Amino acid sequence: MTSAQRTRRNSFTDSPLDRCGEFRADPAWLAAQCGSAGARWLALDAEGRAPVRDGRLCWQDAARVAADSPANFLGRLDGSPLFALRDPAAPSSVPAAEWLDLRNAASVLARFDAGLFAYARALANWQAATRHCGYCGAKLTLVDGGHRALCPSCGRMHFPRTDAAIIVIVEYGDACLLGRQATWRPRQYSTLAGFVEPGESLADAVRREVREESGIIVADCDFHSSQPWPFPASLMLGFTATAATHDIRLADGELEDARWFTARDIADGLRSGALRLSPPLSISYRLIEHWLRTRAGLELATLPRAP
Ligand SMILES: [Zn+2]
């Protein structure tokens, strides 16, 4: 399986949406999309929640959205231009919908709807955090359907920010390295992760993060898959790695505990309740699933779990 095929299994990926990035800078083209009979709008409330009904996002048509409502252009899907309303006061009511945040919605939404919601949230998160020019302090003006922010004072263009973070399953012999932070649910363990630093390659970030958090020296690593993670602005870059050393030292204080788990340790822990893993929404789950399948022939989804 290639990394592209593995990425397709991750949440929020592989959207059939055409983002139409080559047209967004044309105001006349955008206005035509907005006025199209098939145009649909997604409302996010002040907390960033979206309306969900029967496992689908609830889109509104032109009749329910004021023509001058500021909106972000998402792209075109099956001939319909899709927008996300930018004004939290705009949504009014959506009949019989449940307003869910992205984490809760992702577990009930159809796959591509979850990706569209993640995309709308990622854009909104960036806009909420990028109101003023970082060079001269002037208030920014959103352009290109919300995908750029122009400074009217110094003329600089600001682009949406995405924070790259590596996440890695490290292997030594027949075991993999999982750790936990003190703030997590009791008994929950996950693969190690951290943000990529300025001037750093992804492989260097893998080596540094694993050494900082666990004291383990990484011998080699390989790219596994990626996943957008708009909580608020991350792009998770998943890796598999092999360790050159075995002795764990919790060096930087980020982890409360880190241990080597064999496939049997994971299966027994899930069955007894002594171990909890991140939900399938997360790339951590996919990395552990991949490791169990390739190293032990176990399917994570079908392993018995304590109630
Ligand atoms: Zn400026």
CA of 198 to the centre of ligand 1 (A): 23
What is the Cα Rg of the chain in Å?
A: 22
Please give the chain's pLDDT, 307 residues, in tens.
Answer: 999 999 999 999 999 999 999 999 999 999 999 989 999 999 998 889 999 999 999 998 877 776 667 899 999 999 899 999 887 665 566 777 899 999 999 999 999 999 999 999 999 999 999 999 999 999 999 999 999 999 999 999 999 999 999 999 999 999 999 999 999 999 999 999 999 999 999 999 999 999 999 999 999 999 999 999 999 999 999 999 999 999 999 978 889 999 999 999 999 999 999 999 999 999 999 999 999 999 999 999 999 999 8
Q: Is the peptide bond before 232 cis (omega within 30 degrees of 0)?
A: yes
Sorted by sequence, the CB contacts under 8 Å of residue 302 that are 6+ apart come out as none
CA of 159 to the centre of ligand 1 (A): 13
Q: What pLDDT sits at residue 91?
A: 56
Q: What pLDDT sits at residue 253?
A: 83
Sorted by sequence, the CB contacts under 8 Å of residue 27 that are 6+ apart come out as none
CA of 287 to the centre of ligand 1 (A): 42
| Burial annotation 177-188 (CB, 10 A radius, 16+ → b, else e) | bbbbeeeeeeee
Angstrom distance (rounded) from CA 226 to CA 175: 23
Q: Is the CB of residue 265 less than 8 Å from the CB of residue 237? A: no
Q: What pLDDT sits at residue 92?
A: 60
Q: What pLDDT sits at residue 251?
A: 78
Q: What Cα–Cα distance (Å) separates residue 179 from each residue in 71, 72, 126, 192?
A: 41, 39, 30, 6
Alpha helices, H only, the chain: 3-8, 27-35, 102-106, 111-129, 202-214, 263-272, 283-296
CA of 184 to the centre of ligand 1 (A): 40
CA of 156 to the centre of ligand 1 (A): 6
Q: What pLDDT sits at residue 76?
A: 97
Sign of the dihedral defined by the CA atoms of residues 107, 108, 114, 118, in that order? negative
Reduced DSSP (H G I as helix, E B as strand, rest coil) percent helix, strand, coil of the chain, to 5: 30, 30, 45
CA of 155 to the centre of ligand 1 (A): 6
Tokens of 97: 């919908």
CA of 153 to the centre of ligand 1 (A): 5
Q: Is the CB of residue 80 less than 8 Å from the CB of residue 39? A: yes
Q: What Cα–Cα distance (Å) separates residue 54 from each residue in 27, 59, 77?
A: 35, 13, 20
Sign of the dihedral defined by the CA atoms of residues 43, 47, 51, 54, in that order? positive
CA of 44 to the centre of ligand 1 (A): 28
Kindly report the number of other CB atoms within 10 A of residue 63's CB atom. 5
CA of 162 to the centre of ligand 1 (A): 20
Q: What pLDDT sits at residue 67?
A: 65
Q: What pLDDT sits at residue 246?
A: 98
Q: What pLDDT sits at residue 260?
A: 98
CA of 126 to the centre of ligand 1 (A): 17
CA of 107 to the centre of ligand 1 (A): 41
